Amino acid sequence: MDHPGRVYAAVLATLGLFLTIQLGALALVQPFQRAGLQAVSNPSDPTNSFVYLGAILVATGVFLVAIKLDVKWLIRGLIVLSSGSIALYGFSVLVPPFLVVSIGGAPLNALAVGGAITLALALLVYPEWYVIDGVGLVMGAGAAGLFGISFGPLPAIVLLSVLAVYDAVSVYGTEHMLTLAEGVMEIKVPVVLVVPLTLSYSYLDGGSESEETDADEPGTEGGNSTEGDAEKPAPAAESEAWIKDTPEGLGVEPAANGGAIEGTGSEASDEDDADEDGDGEGFGNRDAFFIGLGDAVMPTVMVASAAFFSPAPPLGVPAIALNLPALTSLVGTLCGLVVLLWLVLKGRAHAGLPLLNGGAIGGYLLGALASGISLVSAIGLGPYL
């Protein structure tokens, strides 16, 4: 595949993955509500956002300590358990209860339980890219749907705004997410969505720990990861393009086949420089494109919240909860993603959530105003004024 073709394929596939998670979350909004799965008693309380932010910071700290102590199995176990749990929530409201078993007096949908266990086992046994993506789509839609019905417009806007600021600080300031990302990328769990660019690509072979080198080499920031064809790494600050995601502390993901999009760093190979100059996109000979799952989940929380809480009339789309504010929030997220991908493909590190969350919030507010809802009501400030 020529380089422009690879870029277009990566962009279109990434947009498709985001859209799938968004539509999945919208399909789960009403079933989750009927099942009584709201996570908080008062979804309009903005302090709920700060409770969740605290949980993010705690999770980030736990993951960083686990990486420092080289107990990555702990992170893997927690994420696999979370994946199975969220999948169970989704399957339990979507899969008809054809087979119900009683455990300890509690009825369980055996098919839903079996599906969730199957996904968790697949992650443990064979975490190839399509398994990672499949579980990521289920996990992303479920998480966004659950949080969407639990965060009213004001808490959702507060949550996404603070996370956007935190994301920017962690990319342009502290850079602590680089260390976290380098660690979680080695354990093959659905903290990323993987877009292969070649038919022969294997996530299991291409991103193994044995191919990670120079993590502590002087002159690098947070270390580098190398390509499967043993390309020479360049300093992270100069030559790696990253897409950030911070929700649940899940880190930064390299944008191509395990790590660097080679740029003009002093250690980059002449061949890579020629590739980048030739196509202008910085893809070189990479085999896959990565983007953090949290980058898809967090703006989708705003989409699901708009669909559930906005008084705008439904658009009548079958099988999903959708009104104009939710639709424009969805479109705003995708617009932010296009801008983010354009910036990242230029070969520079950029925080994802400022663009993605900003697009989701801005799109929601435009849709609410177009629906005849006042700005105060759209934001959710009415009870406080």
Are the CB atoms for 329 and 364 separated by under 8 Å?
A: yes
Residue 140 sits in which domain range? 3-371
The reported pLDDT for the residue numbered 170 is 80
| Count of domains observed in the chain | 1
Per DSSP, the residues of 146-193 read HHHTTS-HHHHHHHHHHHHHHHHHIIIII-HHHHHHHHHGGG--TTEE
The reported pLDDT for the residue numbered 231 is 37
The reported pLDDT for the residue numbered 179 is 65
The reported pLDDT for the residue numbered 138 is 95
Helix (H) / strand (E) containing 294: helix 293-309
d(CA 144, CA 139): 8
The reported pLDDT for the residue numbered 18 is 97
d(CA 211, CA 214): 10
Closest CA to 356 of 308, 305, 297, 304: 297
Indicate whether 184 belongs to any domain: yes
Q: What is the pLDDT of residues 128-187, one digit of tens each?
A: 999 999 999 999 999 999 999 999 999 999 999 999 998 888 877 766 666 666 666 777
Indicate whether 122 belongs to any domain: yes
Indicate whether 278 belongs to any domain: yes
Threshold 0.85, pTM exceeds:
no
Indicate whether 229 belongs to any domain: yes
User: Which residues in the chain come in under a pLDDT of 70?
Assistant: 1-3, 104, 174-184, 206-286, 348-349
d(CA 25, CA 47): 23
Indicate whether 385 belongs to any domain: no
Indicate whether 376 belongs to any domain: no
Helix, coil or strand: residue 289: strand
Indicate whether 381 belongs to any domain: no
The reported pLDDT for the residue numbered 369 is 97
Indicate whether 119 belongs to any domain: yes
